[in-house]
Amino acid sequence: MTTLDDAKAWRDQDPDPVTRAELETLIADAETGDAAAVAALRDRFDARLAFGTAGLRGELGAGPNRMNRVLVSQAAAGFARFLLGRESHPSVVIGYDGRVNSDVFARDTAELMAGAGVRAILLPRALPTPVLAFAVRHLDASAGVMVTASHNPPRDNGYKVYLGGRDHGSQIVAPVDGEIHEAILGVATTTSIDQLPRSTDFETAGEEVVDAYVAATVALVPHGDDAPARTPVPFVYTAMHGVGWEVARRVFVEAGLGEPTVVAEQIEPDGAFPTVAFPNPEEPGAMDLSYATASRAGAQLIIANDPDADRLAVAIPDASAEAGWRRLTGNEVGALLGWRAAERLRRQDRMAKLAASIVSSPALSEVARAYGLSYSDTLTGFKWVSRVGGLAYGYEEALGYLVDPEKVRDKDGISAAADFLALAGELAAEGRTIADHLRAFDERFGAFASAQVSLRVTDLARIGQIMAALRDAPPASIGGVRVDQVDDFIRGFGVFPPSDILRFWMEGGARVIVRPSGTEPKVKVYIDASSAEGTAEQRRAAAEAQVAALEEGMRALVA
């Protein structure tokens, strides 16, 4: 079949009037010889969004290389076949966020799962990803589907999958992703979606699921006579136009953490994301409204969730920063929550494990060493962190934290926010701040500094070229610092499966990690250094100087 034939076949089965009209126009223009329309069709039909360990994620639009009702229907039917091949009576719980078409994709999934003979349970409304991850375990479901593109650009949507049973509600990993992908292709290549059986005989979960999530999260915050004294800290909260506010507010209030001042312009779900170019708290400008709101309100802390509330960003007052506020890095928040987790385990006289992805700061491993706890590095992606055996706390530097693995096996920006606010309140009761606690961390464990370099490309082949160049001719030095050792993960390394990752160990103990992004057209570089010599200020200055030199060197190498 030609691209034009593929487009017509897709159009004929598309139930969405918007994407169907999009194809009608492109087909008509392409038939007149319009070069732009021909190119647009090829972009949509010469490739297909592949189902991987992160599920599906891409721009909304018509065709197999976009997110739309046809593609999602094929994914739902294929996933149903996979589940029926694993269990005789599987079940799936389905959640969705506030992005464009998330509710439509979720209902399509529920109807197709029910039509295929899978017990389907749809969450009652748009809710955070952590609620869906919790529901998989709480309802003892075989699987979970979350329709979300998390912190991706506004025009994106996605389809994330969890497995229950022996997977304990974690996201999928290889080789399961490949098996699901093959099942989806089996549907896509043989069946028009209008021939797939559908049923409205699916269940809608009650509020009990949300109530149970809130109760379990509130329980994480110490209460009672033995709890540390806590003075609630005035804080600002933003949902970044996502779905976090309703559930987060309940947790904050019921846990006694206080009622936040909200960023009014960003508090309600809005799939257009009108106040941010990129709804990711890490992106420049994304938290500007939070800073302005916090300054007006006289707040002492800013708490930000990304649109599906599985990530947490924190900002603290800083007179030296341009807006008077500094967003803490994911590694800083991760280290403080890890220290808190270690203290919690010590009080409980319990041994357990801390874990972080290999691109996260080595700070957490030093906390584990100081407390006599086990520690594991994992591959990048929370699906690996959440699967560590005996885990008590895990994080990755991209603002993902898991503070309560018994409740959720995925990053959870709401429970992490509650834990962080409880920490801030306990410090306030002692007359101290988060900034003071960061300095105390440097004094006790050493100062750890980190930086990232992200090289976005327009030609995906450039990513392979950059990785090949570094692999074939590794640099002898970076930023004037000698490279002592190179670890290449391409054929596997130690306990790690084959991965396109290079790790450079530097003279003095600093490290540089280079890998392609798993979700964006980028090469990402992670730089970490530490110092345990001198005062806290001297340690911090030395670590940051090492990172700055390495960052300059890596920018020159990968530019």
Q: In this structure, are residues 303 and 418 in contact, taking their beta carbons and an 8 Å threshold?
A: no
- pLDDT score at 552: 95
pTM, two decimals, is 0.95
- Rounded distance between C-alpha atoms, residue 458 and residue 465, angstroms: 13
Residue 89's SS3 state is coil
Cis previous bond, 175, omega within 30:
yes
Two structure tokens written together for 191: 């069946």
- Rounded distance between C-alpha atoms, residue 427 and residue 439, angstroms: 13
- pLDDT score at 322: 87
Q: In this structure, are residues 381 and 53 in contact, taking their beta carbons and an 8 Å threshold?
A: yes
- Rounded distance between C-alpha atoms, residue 540 and residue 133, angstroms: 38
Q: What residues have CB less than 8 Å from 169, skipping those under 6 apart?
A: 133, 134, 136, 137, 144, 162, 163, 408, 409, 410
Token pair 């990803």: residue = 129
Q: In this structure, are residues 75 and 56 in contact, taking their beta carbons and an 8 Å threshold?
A: yes
At the top level of CATH, which class does the domain 48-200 belong to? Answer: alpha beta
Q: Which residues are catalytic?
A: 150
Q: In this structure, are residues 207 and 277 in contact, taking their beta carbons and an 8 Å threshold?
A: no
In the chain, residues under CATH classification 3.40.120.10 are 48-200, 207-444
Question: Using DSSP, how many helices (H) and how many strands (E) does the chain show?
Answer: 17, 22
Identify which of 347, 359, 365, 355 has the alpha carbon closest to the alpha carbon of residue 389.
355
Task: Classify domain 446-558 at the CATH superfamily level.
Answer: Alpha-D-phosphohexomutase, C-terminal domain (3.30.310.50)
Tens-digit pLDDT profile for the chain (559 aa)? 689 999 999 999 999 999 999 999 999 999 999 999 999 999 999 999 999 888 999 999 999 999 999 999 999 999 999 999 999 999 999 999 999 999 999 999 999 999 999 999 999 999 999 999 999 999 999 999 999 999 999 999 999 999 999 999 999 998 999 999 999 999 999 999 999 999 999 999 999 999 999 999 999 999 888 889 999 999 999 999 999 999 999 999 999 999 999 999 999 999 999 999 999 999 999 999 999 999 999 999 999 999 999 999 999 999 999 899 999 999 999 999 999 999 999 999 888 999 999 999 999 999 999 999 999 999 988 999 999 999 999 999 999 999 999 999 999 999 999 999 999 999 999 999 999 999 999 999 999 999 999 888 888 888 999 999 999 999 999 999 999 999 999 998 888 989 999 999 999 999 999 999 876 788 999 999 999 999 999 999 999 999 999 999 999 988 7
- pLDDT score at 1: 60
- Rounded distance between C-alpha atoms, residue 476 and residue 474, angstroms: 6
- pLDDT score at 301: 98
At the top level of CATH, which class does the domain 207-444 belong to? Answer: alpha beta
- Rounded distance between C-alpha atoms, residue 120 and residue 115, angstroms: 9
In the chain, residues under CATH classification 3.30.310.50 are 446-558
Q: In this structure, are residues 137 and 168 in contact, taking their beta carbons and an 8 Å threshold?
A: yes
